[in-house]
């Protein structure tokens, strides 16, 4: 149903939205279906540097008004946006499925997450807006939060609606004027987010949709002296670059920029001797190969205790072999394509490196059309091997053997990253230790390590996995705000009402 309707709309042009107007651009890029690259999802107009400057100027003009808009009103717009998404849920999920090659069930879960972000951050701003009061006789002290100014959101293609919506509405609801620069591969879905925000009542200049080349215009936005905040999700390389560039104070710039960056991981699941292997095997497969391993939270290392190593590996390989590989829109598909040719080639390169260093246990034939990579399992991998250290962002799993639980924890912690981690164990003392010693932002015990839910599992890591606190959690909005304290002496001529005394 939704598929037919969406298919009829493929190939349209999506222009940037600057100061409330859709502007024409000199360059365009095609966004294609990774399952079938001949199918063009949409043509996306790319913003020039000059247009980017115009957008910043428009944001600057819109800011005073938006800042003065009561938090309750801003929250109401978010809730409307959430409701609109809910109404268009199956259509939006279909766009996600086609544009980034994600299975419908997961695409649908992503739309839910986007809706949850709208409602959760609306509630959160209303909580924060109350601030704190420390009043005493003759003096009031008000602790209040204010927006920072102009926010640039640079969103990834792997959760094209959830993450883009989450970062954008967080910036908006806190009173910042926001520019959304989506990954080119998912710019059509980002345009849909724009449509929804406009329909929900976001004023012009407050939200702007600015698809652009990241390396040039994106970088220009990051360096812009009028930008206060950059919210980024993507690769470690780009994240580190943004962090460094944002730190350089430009001429005319009168503030230091805030960067929130979520950058990926090298996530491990430890399978303990006492694990329920039925569950561990299934959930490792889901965590490693769901959306072809292209989630920041995906499992790319599984650390298995020696007594169960053989048994576990045999079953893991067979279970993975049983997955169907095919286009995302086929309901029987377990593993779909990766995002584009560049990603595919990079992953294949890692697989070659893996073959040189360790032993390949599974590789399967894949469809010829589309950007497919076989789910791949390496065994007898050393903890220091390239494929056990670097983020691959594809369907490649390294199996590492550990002699005991101490060693398992040491291996798990032995990378640059600290995003998600998992433990399958029925040993109470190991479960307890992992809570203290497994250094990750999100630790999942006896369940899959992907699929965090807003508010229930606020999401985000540390070390080289990112800076900033957790999306969908109680500290997230604080990063978009500047607290100020207002102290007023309310005595006049030594006179002031004293509470409790008439």
Active site residue 262: yes
Helical segments of 144-218, H only = 162-173, 187-200
Q: Which range in 125-133, 323-331, 401-409, 457-465 contacts other proteins by CB under 8 A?
A: 323-331
273 binds other proteins (CB under 8 A): yes
Name the residue nearer to other proteins (CB basis): 79 or 255. 79
- Closest to 214 in 3D by CA, of 232, 202, 226, 201: 232
Q: Rounded to the nearest whole angstrom, what is the least distance from the CB of residue 281 to other proteins in the complex?
A: 6
Calpha distance 105→242 (Å, rounded): 33
- Measured in whole angstroms, how far is the alpha carbon of residue 137 from the centre of its chain? 47
Q: Which range in 29-37, 53-61, 281-289, 394-402 contacts other proteins by CB under 8 A?
A: 281-289
Q: Rounded to the nearest whole angstrom, what is the least distance from the CB of residue 252 to other proteins in the complex?
A: 50
Residue 255, CB half-sphere, CA atoms under 13 Å: how many? 13
Residue 6 sits at φ, ψ, to 5 deg, of -65, -40
Q: Rounded to the nearest whole angstrom, what is the least distance from the CB of residue 324 to other proteins in the complex?
A: 6
Single out the residue of 38, 68, 251, 278 in contact with other proteins (rule: CB under 8 A). 278
Calpha distance 145→5 (Å, rounded): 44
Q: Rounded to the nearest whole angstrom, what is the least distance from the CB of residue 305 to other proteins in the complex?
A: 10
Single out the residue of 26, 237, 318, 437 in contact with other proteins (rule: CB under 8 A). 318
369 binds other proteins (CB under 8 A): no
Q: Rounded to the nearest whole angstrom, what is the least distance from the CB of residue 426 to other proteins in the complex?
A: 4
Name the residue nearer to other proteins (CB basis): 57 or 319. 319
Name the residue nearer to other proteins (CB basis): 105 or 484. 105
Active site residue 99: no
CB atoms inside a 10 Å sphere around CB 1 = 8
Single out the residue of 32, 52, 97, 104 in contact with other proteins (rule: CB under 8 A). 104
Q: Rounded to the nearest whole angstrom, what is the least distance from the CB of residue 123 to other proteins in the complex?
A: 16
CB atoms inside a 10 Å sphere around CB 182 = 29
How would DSSP label each residue in 220-257? HHHH-TT--EEEEES-HHHHHHHHHHHHSPPTT--SPP
CB atoms inside a 10 Å sphere around CB 306 = 13
364 binds other proteins (CB under 8 A): no
Single out the residue of 264, 334, 461, 473 in contact with other proteins (rule: CB under 8 A). 334
Calpha distance 385→389 (Å, rounded): 6
Single out the residue of 26, 27, 73, 105 in contact with other proteins (rule: CB under 8 A). 105
Which of 262, 299, 329, 391 is flagged as catalytic?
A: 262
Q: With CB under 8 A, what is the number of residues at the site for other proteins? A: 28
Q: Contact at 8 Å (CB) between 242 and 154? A: yes
Pairing of strands 376-379, 21-22: unpaired
331 binds other proteins (CB under 8 A): yes
Name the residue nearer to other proteins (CB basis): 265 or 326. 326
315 binds other proteins (CB under 8 A): yes
Q: Contact at 8 Å (CB) between 183 and 342? A: no
Angle between helices 309-321 and 277-289 (to 10 degrees): 50
What HEC string does 418-450 produce? ECEEEEECCCHHHHHHHHHHCCCCEEEECCCCC
Q: Which range in 28-36, 77-85, 317-325, 346-354 contacts other proteins by CB under 8 A?
A: 317-325
406 binds other proteins (CB under 8 A): no
Name the residue nearer to other proteins (CB basis): 104 or 339. 104
Residue 44 sits at φ, ψ, to 5 deg, of -115, 125
Single out the residue of 252, 322, 489, 493 in contact with other proteins (rule: CB under 8 A). 322
Token pair 């978009």 in the structure block, residue: 480
Single out the residue of 36, 69, 282, 389 in contact with other proteins (rule: CB under 8 A). 282
Calpha distance 334→339 (Å, rounded): 16
276 binds other proteins (CB under 8 A): yes
Per the document, the length of the chain is 502
Q: Contact at 8 Å (CB) between 370 and 35? A: yes
Calpha distance 446→271 (Å, rounded): 9
Q: Rounded to the nearest whole angstrom, what is the least distance from the CB of residue 447 to other proteins in the complex?
A: 11
275 binds other proteins (CB under 8 A): yes
What HEC string does 177-188 produce? EEEEEECHHHHH
127 binds other proteins (CB under 8 A): no
Which of 91, 110, 124, 296 is flagged as catalytic?
A: 296
Q: Rounded to the nearest whole angstrom, what is the least distance from the CB of residue 156 to other proteins in the complex?
A: 26
Ranges within 412-441 binding other proteins (CB under 8 A): 426-429
- Structure letter (DSSP) for residue 480: G
Task: List, by residue number, the catalytic residues.
Answer: 262, 296
| Residues of the shown chain interacting with other proteins in the complex, contacts defined by CB under 8 A | 104-105, 273-279, 281-282, 285, 307-308, 315, 318-319, 321-324, 331-332, 334, 426-429
């Amino acid at each position: 149903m939704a598929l037919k309707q969406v298919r009829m709309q493929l190939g349209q042009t999506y222009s940037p939205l600057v100061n409330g107007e859709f502007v024409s651009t000199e360059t365009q890029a095609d966004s294609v279906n990774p399952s079938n690259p001949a199918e063009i999802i949409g043509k996306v107009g790319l913003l020039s540097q000059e247009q980017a400057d115009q957008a910043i100027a428009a944001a600057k003009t819109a800011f005073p008004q938006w800042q003065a808009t009561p938090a309750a009103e801003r929250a109401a717009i978010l809730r409307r946006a959430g409701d609109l998404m809910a109404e268009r849920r199956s259509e939006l999920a279909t766009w996600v499925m086609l544009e980034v090659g994600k299975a419908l069930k997961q695409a649908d879960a992503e739309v839910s997450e986007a809706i949850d972000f709208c409602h959760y951050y609306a509630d959160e701003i209303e909580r924060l807006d109350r601030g704190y009061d420390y009043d005493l006789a003759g003096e009031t002290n008000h602790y209040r939060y204010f927006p920072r100014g102009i926010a640039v959101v640079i969103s990834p293609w792997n959760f094209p609606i959830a993450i883009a919506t989450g970062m954008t509405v967080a910036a908006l609801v806190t009173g910042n004027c926001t520019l959304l620069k989506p990954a080119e591969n998912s710019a059509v879905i980002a345009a849909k987010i724009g449509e929804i925000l406009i329909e929900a009542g976001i004023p012009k200049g407050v939200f702007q949709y600015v698809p652009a080349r990241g390396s040039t215009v994106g970088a220009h936005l990051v360096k812009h002296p009028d930008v206060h905040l950059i919210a980024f999700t993507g690769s470690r390389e780009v994240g580190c670059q943004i962090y460094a560039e944002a730190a350089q104070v430009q001429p005319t710039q009168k503030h230091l920029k805030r960067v929130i960056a979520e950058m990926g991981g090298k996530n491990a699941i430890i399978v303990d001797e006492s694990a329920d292997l039925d569950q561990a095997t299934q959930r490792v497969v889901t965590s490693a190969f769901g959306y072809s391993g292209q989630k920041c939270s995906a499992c790319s290392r599984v650390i298995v205790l020696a007594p169960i190593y053989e048994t576990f590996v045999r079953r893991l390989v067979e279970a993975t072999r049983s997955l169907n590989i095919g286009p995302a829109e086929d309901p029987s598909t377990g593993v779909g394509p990766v995002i584009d040719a560049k990603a595919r080639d990079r992953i294949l390169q890692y697989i070659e490196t893996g073959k040189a260093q360790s032993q390949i246990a599974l590789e399967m034939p894949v469809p010829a059309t589309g950007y497919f990579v076989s789910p791949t399992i390496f065994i007898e991998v050393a903890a220091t091997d390239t494929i056990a250290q670097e983020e691959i962002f594809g369907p490649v799993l390294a199996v590492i053997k550990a002699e005991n639980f101490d060693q398992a924890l040491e291996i798990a912690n032995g990378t640059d990253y600290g995003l998600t981690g998992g433990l399958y164990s029925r040993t109470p003392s190991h479960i307890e230790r992992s809570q203290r010693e497994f250094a990750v932002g999100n630790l999942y015990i006896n369940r899959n390590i992907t699929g965090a839910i807003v508010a229930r599992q606020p999401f985000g890591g540390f070390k080289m996995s990112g800076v900033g606190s957790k999306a969908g959690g109680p500290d997230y909005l604080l990063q978009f705000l500047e607290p100020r304290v207002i102290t007023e002496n309310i005595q006049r001529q030594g006179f002031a009402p004293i509470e409790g005394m008439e």
